[in-house]
Structure 1
């Protein structure tokens, strides 16, 4: 049962072939076997999971499911408030924080839809890194190859779904944080249009998003996550629970293989992205390779912007614990503290200019294809593909948080033992179009390698 999608589980529940109790029992057994090898989950409420599964089973037997995700186990990222669970945000400094007393909006919507909320997934300190390393829990490892990184910052949720510890998860994305781990773990993820998923506390950069094994499960999750919330600022978005594959005939699609001063895609990554573009051509799309849409450096300015945000969060920690974080975070926070208002304004202006440039360039197309990450992967213990420059790998993802455009990643092949993801980008509000296009690509691409049944053997 561990590799069943949410959509398949719902079908099985409807027909009475499986029950949520059977599924949750099987997943808890798999968690006991696999989680010690990958370190994806830092808190598992087994008793609560079984109680939720029993209640779901009773509803299904009565023919009265609570919602479209009734009985589907779901892993929640460490940056989300879950009633009764602790939020560490990857930080050793928060090791004795009290459990949260209320669900944040995305968790509340999932719970209202009947999902079984039972585990918290790891993330790097403050969500600042695109890697699966943190001071609170250590290294999270990739189920496809334990020597490789999961990406981040939704590291644990992605690793958990790829390893079959849960069929679905929800993460958050400030610069690529659902897309990067999804590409490294062979999954699908959507960073939706800004405001499509209500969330608290409010952030202009961050978006919550689903991380799943296939596109259909993400669509089902979006139909729930996009519902409005009375306390949140974002309006939400109406996404149907099912969509049909897009007709791509005549669609104008840009192929973006360079952006600003980001590293160029590694040859094996570029080859897979070009192969994916050929699939879109085969579906009738008009694919055109784009010039670099941001003809100036922006990554150092982006790191400066993130450093000030990190320094602000560190300032909120108890003074005697501010050193209880990864050394790379300490250096970045120190940089943020030392930055003058003038230099911060200059960095922010550069980021905004880059966002405007990429928005204008992508506006000429119905969709844009790009690598999600310029390299296939790097060692599990690394905090970045370039340990001295933690945001070197987010060049293709981060600006779409600044523009507010939706961007998804879908697995397009393997480079050695590591999955590689294709990023699919659209205009604001065109989330359904991206999801439909990804459905069409997923079907035309055909199946890839099955998810790893055994981990670390």
Structure 2
């Protein structure tokens, strides 16, 4: 890639530079756009680029900073939004060619409103796979989104474009969405920090069981900064599930945890999800090593038994198949034919489900929620892999590339969507082929700040061999 210049800086570093008048939002945008121009043809992170919007917003921000009156806490910081986050003038086709002619939205969704009010410079909308139901960047509408660490690898999904943009330096802040791992899995496979927040604290339009909007960034500080923007009420009240959560996001960067703060903290750790794919040895070893770093600082680290199971994973898979089959079945036959064949085949697994079977599948989500709560309630945080496997080939639809086992890799992430608990990610190492290994740190509901403080502590305490060599393309040994 070309010299990233100012695009290599994090959001917090950009804001410091604006305050000290070392550079302006216009200069930053120029470097970010140059990087996008160089990398986007191969990586395909964007569904829609909005250069005129970004330049107008950057110029307005530059004027505000020159006058000493920044508008919000990310004034002048470049940011992208996932395709399914509504913005006025742009459609949301859910990543599928079947909905390519959806009409544009007439107003911004809640998170887009918050970003604008906070002064963010919107670069555009990022890609996702069909209906957001793949942990891969393969889409019948967008083609293939690739991993900046190695374009032969997937960036994951469904926040595929968000992760690719973040890891490639296409701005420091990125908003994705997550219903079973769609923020954390791509973050883990691209060496990013992320957070699946407590369900309902960020307004989502429309809301759905387990679905959240969450940030991806190159540092935990920037994830916390994003949460300070995203986790605010929607003035229009479009998310009827929204819960106001007053959390001190600034404490993540203003009052970071010290080693002595870890004394007495109770940490659970597991490297066996209990169902789905077995955990690759290098991934298990990296998580065990991360747990040892916490123990060396004084935390009490205990191994916990798996609380997911193959039965529960299969039931939730059937529930999600049925949900997506309902969407696809409602399409006219000619549109249905445009849906990614892999997705069509996956959803057909639910086409003949009876009402009783549908209820059993739904009850599987409730049982997994109960199991997750029971296993984790006695700990301050729980460490695990983000995924049992490293990044798959970019052309694959899932780590197994088989619709019959499409969700076998979400045994670590899915439980926290159903239990509504926050779960952060941070890079914990690399396997022999150089693929990033993500560490997941989960906590109690509405303890998002504590989860991020622990993630930031580990980000600073991890060995140099686990630190991504930003910008983009190596590890620090």
2:256 is the alignment partner of 1:245: yes
Q: Does 1:50 align with 2:67?
A: no
3-state SS of paired residue (1:379): coil
Q: How many residues align?
A: 455
In the TM superposition, what is the alpha-carbon distance from 1:318 to its structure 2 partner? Answer: 4.2
Task: Quote the residue 1:85 is aligned against.
Answer: 90
| Residue 295 of structure 1, CA deviation | 5.2
How far apart are the structure 2 equivalents of 1:23 and 1:316? 45
User: Is the aligned partner of 1:208 residue 2:213?
Assistant: yes
Structure 1 residue 35 corresponds to structure 2 residue 40: yes
Tell me the equivalent position of 1:333.
Answer: 347
Is contact 1:219-1:240 (8 Å) kept? no
The corresponding residue for 2:413 is 397
Tell me by how many angstroms 1:292 deviates: 1.8
Contiguous gaps of at least 5 residues in structure 1: none
Cα distance between partner residues in 1 of 2:244 and 2:157: 25
SS at the partner of 2:177? strand
Answering whether residue 164 of structure 2 is matched by residue 156 of structure 1, we say no
Normalised by the size of structure 2, how large is the TM-score? 0.93
- Where does structure 2 lack aligned partners over 5 or more consecutive residues? 1-5
- The separation in 1 between residues aligned to 2:204 and 2:81, in whole angstroms, is 13
Contact 1:227 1:238 in 2 (8 A): no
Cα distance per residue 1:380-426 (max 9 Å; x no partner):
11111111121111111011111101111111111122111000011
CA contact (8 A) 1:198 1:236 kept: no
Tell me if structure 1 keeps the 8 A contact 2:126–2:162: yes
Matched, 1:450 2:469: yes
The CA distance in 2 between the partners of 1:453 and 1:194, in whole Å, is 31
Distance in 2, matches of 1:342 and 1:297, equals 17
- Separation (CA, whole Å) in 1 of partners of 2:159 and 2:244: 21
Paired residue for 2:311?
A: 297
Alignment of 1:69-80 (within 5 A): 69-80=74-85
The answer to whether 1:435 aligns with 2:452 is yes
Asked if structure 2 preserves the Cα contact closer than 8 Å seen for 1:257 and 1:290, the reply is no
Shift of 1:300: 1.5
Secondary structure class of the residue paired with 2:91: coil
CA contact (8 A) 2:149 2:472 kept: no
Answer yes or no: is 1:324 the counterpart of 2:343: no
Q: Which string of whole-angstrom CA distances, capped at 9 and with x for unpartnered residues, describes residues 172-194 of structure 1?
A: 10000100000001001100111
Per-residue CA distance 1:303-324 (angstroms, 9 max, x = gap): 1111111122224544421121
C-alpha distance in 1 between matches for 2:245 and 2:231:
5
After TM superposition, the structure 1 = structure 2 runs for residues 37-436 of structure 1, keeping only pairs within 5 Å, are 37-230=42-235, 231=237, 232-233=239-240, 234-243=242-251, 244-246=255-257, 247-294=261-308, 297-388=311-402, 389-415=405-431, 416-436=433-453
Question: In the TM superposition, what is the alpha-carbon distance from 1:159 to its structure 2 partner?
Answer: 0.5
Conserved? CA contact 1:262–1:396, under 8 Å? no
Q: The residue matched to 1:336 in structure 2 has which SS?
A: coil
Alignment match, 2:3: none
Q: What is the DSSP-based 3-state SS (H/G/I as helix, E as strand, rest coil) of the residue aligned with 2:214?
A: strand
User: Is 1:190–1:209's contact at 8 Å kept on the other side of the alignment?
Assistant: yes
Moved more, 279-288 or 86-95: 86-95
SS of equivalent residue, structure 2 residue 74? coil
2:234 counterpart SS class = coil
Tell me how far apart the structure 2 counterparts of residues 122 and 435 of structure 1 sit (CA, whole Å): 26
Distance 1:267 1:453 in 2: 25
Structure 1 residue 15 corresponds to structure 2 residue 35: no
Distance in 2 separating the partners of 1:144 and 1:353: 38
Kept in 1, the 8 Å contact 2:427–2:437? The answer is yes
CA distance in 1, matches of 2:182, 2:271: 20
Structure 1 position 241, deviation (Å): 4.2
Q: CA–CA distance in 1 between the matches of 2:308 and 2:456?
A: 29
Conservation of the 8 A alpha-carbon contact between 1:367 and 1:425:
yes
Is this contact kept in 1: 2:373–2:419, CA < 8 A? yes
CA shift at 1:302, angstroms?
1.4
The alpha carbon displacement at 1:293 in A equals 2.1
Assess, with a 3 A threshold, how the Cα gap between structure 1 residues 86 and 118 changes in structure 2: closer, same or farther. farther
Aligned-residue CA RMSD (Å): 1.5
